Structure 1
């Protein structure tokens, strides 16, 4: 697989490759083409190296006998970032690294599938970064991101959309969804907005007053 785009522009989203289920080569190739910085978590580095992907940063706690210097010899230049803090996941530490570098946004792949605990943690932890980093998690079936308090975007009719609260989100109102909400709450485990869809070609508007609300654009 080819390397990522030669142009460096810190306004473009960086790319993090975690260690969940692999996505298609097509999706990965599209993201690599325009990512100014590619970070790989140590648990995924062997799989990534086998695909022939050039990366910029190898990050993790390097436990279980992991030898980062081996990969430094295979890829040049490669920045090694040792993050031994056990109070955060390696993905969270990668987010912190990007914030420190001044990146405004990041795409994340290989963050879903495989272990269910990792998938749930990876998706829900993005709420901690609401005010510091725009995070989008992608796989071959979904695009997941945290909604601002007012969201507007054009969609074609019948696009599947799910609204999933992290905890409770209140004061939710929507326009141009098949199953509308009118100043209503959603609470994880009790009532969510899964498997809604766009009513007609046009702008979808989603507003909420408080709480954290995830948007999932789904592809069957």
Structure 2
């Protein structure tokens, strides 16, 4: 077997589960196919355990850890990473950076909070799963993709000038935080002078 069949452990995007209120297991299951590193915020733990998912790290406040030490045995090998509700995203991404991960799916992260992620995007590929939407950043500022007839969301800095081209023609307009765009079947190109995010229904 040639060497390219071997996947280095950290090449698989990690999965960070922050909120399960609007997410079903069927949406998360494809992300788990290649047994990635899984980090789970304490408030989602019961849901994720009920899905039968192998968890590597529980993101938890110290009081939660003290009350739930039995999890270290029940779910061995597993570890706690101390954090707070305010810092859970940055702490989990710093942990992944330290363990040589370069990509992660953030499950239950609100795309309206993406400004929190900007400092991480230089060294990490991040995808957000929020309800029935998947969001990803366009770091190159130039996006080109084939879509079925559908609605996409473009999210970014207020008044960011966008240039959109597809079989409907060419559009130029300023972005208003969240812009919903009906795209025809075929290739859509989007350009902007700064990073922006694309949301697709999943």
- TM class by shorter chain equals 0.7 to 0.9
Question: For residue 116 of structure 1, what is the aligned residue in structure 2?
Answer: none
- 1:133-165 deviation per Cα after TM superposition (whole angstroms, max 9, x unaligned): 111111451111222211222222x12111122
- Aligned residue in 2 for 1:132: 123
When residues 62 and 145 of structure 1 are mapped into structure 2, their CA distance, relative to the original with a 3 A threshold, is farther
Match of 1:30 in 2: 30
TM-score normalised by length of structure 2: 0.81
State the partner residue of 1:146: 137
Find the counterpart in structure 2 of residue 14 from structure 1: 14
Q: How many residues align?
A: 195
Quote how far apart the aligned CAs of 1:199 are. 2.1
Equivalent in the alignment of 1:199: 184
2:154 alignment counterpart: 163
Gaps of 5+ in 2: 1-6
In 1: Cα distance, 2:78 partner to 2:165 partner: 47
Contact kept in structure 1, 2:20 and 2:47, CA below 8 Å? no
Gaps of 5+ in 1: 1-6, 113-118
Partner of 1:98: 96
C-alpha contact (below 8 Å) 1:41/1:91 kept by paired residues: no
1:45-78 C-alpha deviation (Å, 9 max, x unpaired): 2332233321111123334676342211211111
Please name the residue that 1:4 is paired with. none
Q: Distance in 2 between matches of 1:187 and 1:130?
A: 22
> Quick check: 1:177–1:197 contact (8 Å CA) kept in 2?
no
